[in-house]
Chains A and B, each alone.
Chain A
Amino acid sequence: MRTMHPTLLVGPADWDRSRMPLEEFQARLDALWRADTWAGGAIVYGDAAEHAALAYLTHFTPKLEPAIALLSPKSDAKLLVGGGINMIPAAKPLTWIGDLLPLRSAAKAVAEWSANLPGGGSLMLISGDAMPYAMHNEIVAALGLERAVKDGTPILRAQMRRKSPRELAAIRQASSMLGEAVAELRQSKDRGVTAAVLAAERVAWRRGAQDVRSLFSLDGGRTLLPFDVPIGAAVDPLQIYLAVRYSGYWAEGFAMLSAQSHAALIAAKAGLQAALAQVAPGVSAGALSAALATPFSPHPITNPKVIGIGLALQQDLPADEPVGVGEVLSLRAGISDPQQGSALVSTMVAVTETGRDILWSGP
């Protein structure tokens, strides 16, 4: 889900080895090398907006400037961080990687690292599409033809779908914070839109959230708006989208808060229940999307209706692939109908051996 991106990520992002120990990252790297046995190394890019892959492999959240991890099965990991040599002490607490270097002259640094890698093999470039155009071109040019460079993003993205128990614990915590924030929103709803949204955000922040994003509607759910200027008036229904991040992992939810129900809301909730009943290992995102359909016009905001969620706030899922145990999904039912009105509701579920575990469900 797109929300207004903040200019600086300010929430807690230190690496806590008790929550996510080194062995967790080693297992992820081992799986990556197993998935591409020809790979001699990986160049992993991340910035404040797009860093799910980088965080998955290094725990590093680039709060300010971009970073590039240089990973190899045969040598120690390096992390190039933006902002110059004086920024390195501030970056150290955010990652398990001990060898941090300035990102300046990134192309030269990447080429030197590649040249000194032991053994042969190709290089995986992960999240290269998110790299600034100029940086991407410089790095590819600097690497030359010495090693083949291929896009490793799909390999890692597939690996990231299935969550480990530690990842699930973080998502549960994020979901719990989301639940408390939405509860606060219900309590504060009559204080005005901005006051209610900020009260909800504060609840999550005070619980230790790493990030909180919100969108709200002033037209009964037909459109959603980012925070722009304060809205003193209260509205009913109050349609809200909230996303809460904890320890790197996101939980998201659509909720429509109203003293009264209406046809669109009833139908959206019914669609959600129908889809929930089908969640189990082996079901496809396409089948779940079909179950979420209602007789009314679908809402453009809930397209796609089923997404993966974790370190990325939205991971699109192939419609025809079965979901597996350990995946976390957000199921979204949305209606925007000229006659019936609008409503957006959602639920977050973890796929389990026996079906599903509901992590968060709207009121």
Chain B
Amino acid sequence: MTFDERLTEICRRLDTRGLDRVVGVHDGAHFIEKPDPVFMLTGFKSLGPCAAVLERDGGTTLVVTPAWDAVRAAQKRPSLRVVAADDVGDGLAGVLEGCVATGSVGLEAAPFGIAQRVAQLIPNAPPVDEIVFGAVHAKIDSEIANAREAVCIAELGYQHLLDIARPGISEDELAVELRWHSKTLGAEDNFVLLCASPHNRAVAPSHGRRLQAGDIIVVELTPSYRGQLVQICRTISVGEASETLRQKYALVAGAMHEGIAAAQPGRPMADVCRAINDVLEAEGYGEFCHPPHIRRRGHGLGFGSIEPGDVALDNQTALEPDMLFMIHPNQYLPETGYLLCGEPVLMTAQGAVPLTAQMATLAEIKL
């Protein structure tokens, strides 16, 4: 599927719903778990708050702030009508002509100051996020190609981490270096969630703690290449790993493989989660297969759309080819603490295929 074909599908859904247009809003704060309808509708990753108006006939208008960034937007996608504005509400007000059936996307997650203004401009517009994001469960060709590039960057970044992680370096220093390093490889961003301790309760943002021998580093490396995120989840022992750690990591990795095997076209996403849980529950870890220890076994990937959603028991989305998502057991075990193990997978007609060249194994840093 191409970008234009996806837009056509969204327009078809608008038509079915009896809507003439949809207004998408985003604040320009690009967070891994916050879908961006403007990026979805225009392919433009903004610096500031922005809005996109998609008409049922396919015509798209992009409202860009700051106004000076409109040149970049116009170059990015020449078919767009680009409106430069210093205030996204003001810009949108000049675009929304006529009294037509309008839906909104992204309003609930937008900052109050922006959302309130937009809501005033399109009163009674129903939220129709499912129309836009429902059409993007599967990735388009360019997103899949970008995901493959991002995976290469992630794996090179992981190798770099193994090269530089030593006792004495702080979590912050590692996270900063990894983010910088991924930019040298072509990633424009990287969600580097990294922490370490002898017994991690979770994976959390880095802070100033310095690595010590005996630590276990858990890391999510999540580079973005041209707006497409992918992630790898890895665990590293600082020094020789204990036999217990090796055994438990093998258990978690085994659960991940079961999850990958369960990801088959037509089956619900919940089955992937259940397959992972089954392995861990059979070993007596049922208590740790639920919050607060774990709330999902993976998730969608992308700054635009995070479909097909979480790898969770309550996600009944049917898997289909060209879906891209993470499968990561990422399990807390009382003997070892939190262990990270996860791969980005692409759904094919034959099932889920990991995009990584080398799947997660427990790594050790020799001291």
- B residues less than 8 Å from A111 (CB atoms): none
Query: Would B208 and A205 count as touching, CB distance under 8 A?
Result: no
Given contacts A2-B28, A10-B179, contact A223 B72 (CB under 8 A): yes
Find the B residue at minimum CB distance from A230: B186
Query: Would B192 and A228 count as touching, CB distance under 8 A?
Result: no
Say if the beta carbon of A130 comes within 8 Å of chain B.
Answer: yes
Query: Would A132 and B292 count as touching, CB distance under 8 A?
Result: no
How far apart sit A93 and B207, CA to CA, in the bound complex (Å)? 8
Partner of A229 from B116, B184, B186 at Cβ < 8 Å: B186
Given contacts A2-B69, A90-B205, A133-B116, contact A50 B188 (CB under 8 A): no
How far apart sit A5 and B69, CA to CA, in the bound complex (Å)? 14
Given contacts A13-B207, A49-B27, A223-B68, contact A7 B112 (CB under 8 A): no
Instruction: Tell me the smallest distance from the CB of A319 to a CB of chain B, in Å.
Output: 15
Main secondary structure of the interface of B (DSSP, over half): loop
- A residues less than 8 Å from B111 (CB atoms): 50, 129-133
- A residues less than 8 Å from B69 (CB atoms): 2
Write the B168-209 contact mask toward A (1 if CB under 8 angstroms, else 0): 001010011101100110101111110100000110111111
Say if the beta carbon of B349 comes within 8 Å of chain A.
Answer: no
- B residues less than 8 Å from A2 (CB atoms): 28, 47-48, 65-66, 69
Query: Would B204 and A227 count as touching, CB distance under 8 A?
Result: no
Docked complex: A164-208 residues within 8 A CB-CB of B? 198, 201-202, 205
Query: Would B32 and A8 count as touching, CB distance under 8 A?
Result: yes
Query: Would B192 and A8 count as touching, CB distance under 8 A?
Result: yes
Say if the beta carbon of B81 comes within 8 Å of chain A.
Answer: no
Query: Would B191 and A8 count as touching, CB distance under 8 A?
Result: yes
- B residues less than 8 Å from A50 (CB atoms): 29, 111
Query: Would A93 and B208 count as touching, CB distance under 8 A?
Result: yes
How far apart sit A224 and B48, CA to CA, in the bound complex (Å)? 14
- A residues less than 8 Å from B28 (CB atoms): 2, 5, 49
Query: Would B112 and A10 count as touching, CB distance under 8 A?
Result: no
How far apart sit A226 and B108, CA to CA, in the bound complex (Å)? 27
How far apart sit A205 and B180, CA to CA, in the bound complex (Å)? 9
Query: Would B180 and A202 count as touching, CB distance under 8 A?
Result: yes
Say if the beta carbon of B109 comes within 8 Å of chain A.
Answer: yes
Instruction: Tell me the smallest distance from the CB of B187 to a CB of chain A, in Å.
Output: 9
A-B contacts counted at CB < 8 A amount to 149
Partner of B68 from A5, A226, A301 at Cβ < 8 Å: A301
How far apart sit A131 and B293, CA to CA, in the bound complex (Å)? 27
Partner of B47 from A7, A86, A137, A226 at Cβ < 8 Å: A226
Instruction: Tell me the smallest distance from the CB of B134 to a CB of chain A, in Å.
Output: 20
Find the A residue at minimum CB distance from B31: A7
Query: Would B47 and A4 count as touching, CB distance under 8 A?
Result: yes
- B residues less than 8 Å from A202 (CB atoms): 180
Say if the beta carbon of A87 comes within 8 Å of chain B.
Answer: yes
- B residues less than 8 Å from A201 (CB atoms): 180, 183
Say if the beta carbon of B115 comes within 8 Å of chain A.
Answer: yes
Query: Would B205 and A6 count as touching, CB distance under 8 A?
Result: no
How far apart sit A333 and B186, CA to CA, in the bound complex (Å)? 32
Query: Would B68 and A48 count as touching, CB distance under 8 A?
Result: no
Find the A residue at minimum CB distance from B48: A2
Find the A residue at minimum CB distance from B116: A133
Given contacts A4-B30, A7-B191, A13-B207, contact A223 B71 (CB under 8 A): yes
Given contacts A6-B189, A89-B204, A227-B188, contact A133 B66 (CB under 8 A): no
- A residues less than 8 Å from B110 (CB atoms): 132-133
Query: Would A6 and B204 count as touching, CB distance under 8 A?
Result: no
Query: Would B66 and A10 count as touching, CB distance under 8 A?
Result: no
- A residues less than 8 Å from B31 (CB atoms): 7, 48
Say if the beta carbon of A145 comes within 8 Å of chain B.
Answer: no
- A residues less than 8 Å from B32 (CB atoms): 7-8
Instruction: Tell me the smallest distance from the CB of A266 to a CB of chain B, in Å.
Output: 23
13 pairs from A and B in contact (CB 8 Å cutoff) = A2-B47, A2-B66, A7-B32, A12-B208, A13-B172, A49-B28, A84-B202, A84-B292, A90-B195, A132-B115, A198-B184, A205-B177, A301-B68
Q: Which residues of B contact A (CB under 8 A)?
A: 27-32, 45, 47-48, 65-69, 71-72, 107-113, 115-116, 119, 170, 172, 175-177, 179-180, 183-184, 186, 188-193, 195, 201-202, 204-209, 222, 224, 226, 229, 291-293, 295, 303
A-B pairs with lowest CB-CB distance, top 6: A129-B113, A90-B204, A133-B115, A86-B202, A49-B29, A136-B112
Known: A2-B69, A130-B113, A201-B180; 9 extra A-B contacts, CB below 8 A, are: A2-B47, A7-B30, A10-B192, A13-B172, A49-B29, A50-B29, A83-B204, A132-B110, A133-B112
